[in-house]
């Protein structure tokens, strides 16, 4: 004969499985039974009514003693809850206003950036124009000896400022046109 004893673990597991299966079947019948469920409902209803009567009795006793009742407590808490809700609604509004201000600030920053950019571009355009004018002036100055030969003894003008040079050039150009 094999040298093994009974497997108590397996035996226990099998017993448990059979017990659970049988109990589950029985409980399923009980807990799905219309009669049981109706009776449970009636029982719960009676329990709730008894509890309500008891609490109404306690409330009346407290009222006679001029003490706050459970109903008073519930009403005060409801008021506190509604007040908290109002406060949070105000907080919501403030947060939305804050969102609006933030958006406005972002918009202003964008606008400012665009304005500064436009001013920089205008300034750059003016600088370019001036440089262009200066180049033209320089060319005109360079053309000057060729178009109008210097008279003997005429001294070369010292280095002139841009404005003076331009007015002199203009004058020379006008003279040339008249000629």
Give me the residues that bind another protein (CB under 8 A), please: 1, 3-9, 16, 20, 23-24, 27, 31-32, 34, 37-38, 40-42, 44-45, 47-52, 70, 73-74, 76-78, 81, 84-85, 88, 92, 95
We find the least distance from the C-beta atom of residue 72 to another protein, in angstroms, to be 10
Q: Which is nearer to another protein, 49 or 60 (CB)?
A: 49
We find the least distance from the C-beta atom of residue 95 to another protein, in angstroms, to be 7
We find the least distance from the C-beta atom of residue 125 to another protein, in angstroms, to be 39
Q: Which two tokens stand for residue 106?
A: 């972002």
Q: Which is nearer to another protein, 15 or 125 (CB)?
A: 15
Q: Distance (Å, rounded) from C-alpha 25 to C-alpha 86? A: 54
We find the least distance from the C-beta atom of residue 61 to another protein, in angstroms, to be 17
Q: Which is nearer to another protein, 5 or 153 (CB)?
A: 5
Q: Which is nearer to another protein, 94 or 109 (CB)?
A: 94
CB 36 within 8 Å of CB 42 = no
We find the least distance from the C-beta atom of residue 1 to another protein, in angstroms, to be 5
Q: Distance (Å, rounded) from C-alpha 175 to C-alpha 166? A: 14
């Amino acid at each position: 004969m094999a040298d093994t004893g009974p497997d108590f673990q397996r035996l226990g597991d099998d017993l448990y499985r059979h017990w659970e299966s049988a109990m589950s079947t029985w409980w399923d019948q009980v807990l799905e039974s219309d009669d049981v469920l109706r009776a449970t409902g009636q029982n719960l209803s009676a329990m709730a009514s008894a509890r309500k009567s008891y609490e109404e009795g306690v409330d009346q006793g407290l009222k006679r003693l001029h003490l706050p009742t459970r109903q008073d407590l519930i009403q005060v808490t409801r008021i506190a809850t509604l007040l908290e809700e109002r406060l949070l609604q105000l907080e919501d509004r403030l947060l939305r206003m804050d969102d609006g201000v933030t958006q406005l600030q972002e918009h202003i920053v964008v606008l400012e950036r665009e304005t500064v950019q436009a001013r920089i571009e205008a300034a750059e355009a003016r600088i370019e124009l001036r440089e262009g004018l200066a180049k033209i002036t320089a060319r005109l100055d360079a053309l000057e000896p060729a178009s109008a030969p210097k008279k003997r003894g005429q001294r070369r003008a010292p280095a002139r400022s841009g404005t003076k040079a331009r007015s002199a050039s203009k004058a020379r150009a006008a003279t040339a046109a008249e000629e």
